[in-house]
Amino acid sequence: MRLSLETRDVGRVTIVRCSGRIVAGGESEALRSHVAWLLRDRRSIVLHLGDVAFIDSSGLGAMVRAVTSTRQVHGDLKLCGVPEHVNKVLQLSHLTKLFDARESEDDAVAAFYSKQAPKEQSVPTGHCVLCVDRNADVLTYVRELLRRAGYDVHTTNNLRDALILMRVTKFDLVLLGAEMNASPATQKTFQDTCAAMPVVELGHEFSTAEAGEAAAGLLEQIAARLGRPAAS
């Protein structure tokens, strides 16, 4: 079974779900290269190992290199969902103190936020905004737009991860993309959590409108809801 790496961002934390075998050859190199690629602009990484069926010495070496290279650039790499057979390997190899292993993704994200996760780049101190949208390009654009306007921005592409972020940090406003579907229980919890804060909806037209007009309109809406002057 070849190694697959499924990556998603939960705010400032990047979660990499590993499935398959982490073994000598292409699999170990793929993991090392993927982490190196992430480190171009990210510093808080979680490896979810719940679906790892087997790991050999080379695979473990690749993990050691990954955590070492992350810490060398003042970031950190945590593990979560470590299966028992992998945990035994870490214990036998005396590596349990090297890796910060957490029980779940929620715990790993919370651990990063509790100690002020290293940021991809410094941002001005301001209102804290959560943006939830399925479109990765929209998330990237909104994140950079609002950061340059002085906001502290966190992004994710699904409601479940949004709830993780809302448990570990306080937001002043939520930007919500169109048709953010989830299970009924998740949707209700999200709605209840948002009840006490302003929510600005990103309609379908936001992603297709002229970028400058869309940006100006969004900044005006946010400023109005937060009661602060709009960015020039």
The domain spans of the chain are 4-114, 128-226
Report the predicted TM-score, pTM, of the whole model to 2 decimal places: 0.84
- Give the model confidence (pLDDT) of 121-168 as tens digits: 444 557 999 999 998 888 989 998 898 889 999 999 999 999 999 999
CATH number of 4-114: 3.30.750.24
Radius of gyration of the chain (CA): 19
Q: Which CATH superfamily is domain 128-226 in?
A: Response regulator (3.40.50.2300)
DSSP string, 147-181: HHTT-EEEEESSHHHHHHHHHHS--SEEEEETT--
Structure tokens at 190: 């999200």
Segment 110-115 shows an average pLDDT of 91
Percent of the chain with pLDDT over 70: 94
